[in-house]
A and B are shown apart, each in its own frame.
Chain A
């Protein structure tokens, strides 16, 4: 049987995170911002979550943000990178989002910040997440979406055609928000909600931005990318296009990150559901009069 297509090189994802682990504190602005926004969703939900999991915890940013919040008694953190975990504190383990090591119905809450956009088999991962949740457990995740790094993608594409006469993937493909809702439903989540948000960060130049992405462990890990490096000529032409197309009057450049927030509940009989078809007692025409 053939598995899902391999879009991302998971070993490269792990390698990038391992390398970024020691210096992450200097580059984790986006991570903390998204973790804060996700944590802000919790107080609106009048529930406590005794047992929680952070899937893709990096070096513990979400745990720091959550400390003492959200009715969480026990937070287990996991990441693909053991080096990241060495910098976190509390209960934790190394695990691959594509092969979760959890028994069924263990968690009241599963959270994830900026990790699921590196998963090849997102439907498979979502199904595993749902199974690891107790009935009526909540899944709440933020991942990068299709509108992210559009400026960089365009600039490098233009530059590469110009310099190399062809293109190879240099910016990771991201999930489209419209697909994300369908994926949640397919994985069996009740009351699925997908929300999108934009964060625009400003950098001195594209090189500073790429250094930050590398520092965050977010370097390109697309399988089939052209070796490890983008040729210098392409980078320089890309930086020029980036400045020309998007630069502001102070010579700084913006970088847009689209954040997709997913939420869904493991099914439980207490949840509202549509009535079965044909169970209506009143003709639709009466309602429309």
Chain B
């Protein structure tokens, strides 16, 4: 986001931290199967769908269009 934005979405948490409660409730949108949190890569990995969903600035992007294929 640009710096000139009036509300830049900061909420006092570290940029790469993810709400632990979120990890409990999220599943893969495609398969509804479990996700593995890859802290290093900041990704939520769905082995069933062979997709990794990115976490950007603490926000999981659970969109199939934005996910990285594990088979590439």
Asked if residues A86 and B30 are in contact (CB atoms below 8 Å), the reply is no
A191 interface residue (CB < 8 Å to B) = no
Residues on A with C-beta less than 8 A from B59 are: 82, 85-86, 92-94
B8 interface residue (CB < 8 Å to A) = yes
Mask of B32-68 contacts with A, CB within 8 angstroms, 1/0: 1000000000000000000001001101111111100
* Secondary structure class of chain B's binding surface, majority of residues: loop
Q: Which of B1-21 contact A (CB under 8 A)?
A: 1-2, 5-11, 19, 21
Asked if residues B21 and A93 are in contact (CB atoms below 8 Å), the reply is no
Asked if residues A89 and B11 are in contact (CB atoms below 8 Å), the reply is yes
Asked if residues B28 and A101 are in contact (CB atoms below 8 Å), the reply is yes
A22 interface residue (CB < 8 Å to B) = yes
Kindly report which residue of chain B lies nearest to residue A93, judged by CB atoms: B60
Given contacts A22-B5, A93-B61, contact A101 B27 (CB under 8 A): yes
Q: Which of A120-150 contact B (CB under 8 A)?
A: none
- A→B interface (CB under 8 Å): 11, 22, 25, 59, 74, 76, 78, 80, 82, 85-96, 99-103, 106
Can you pick out 23 interface pairs between chain A and chain B where the beta carbons lie within 8 Å of each other?
A: A22-B5, A25-B6, A82-B59, A85-B9, A85-B59, A86-B9, A86-B59, A87-B1, A89-B7, A89-B9, A90-B11, A91-B21, A92-B59, A93-B60, A94-B59, A94-B62, A95-B29, A95-B62, A96-B29, A96-B64, A101-B28, A101-B29, A101-B53
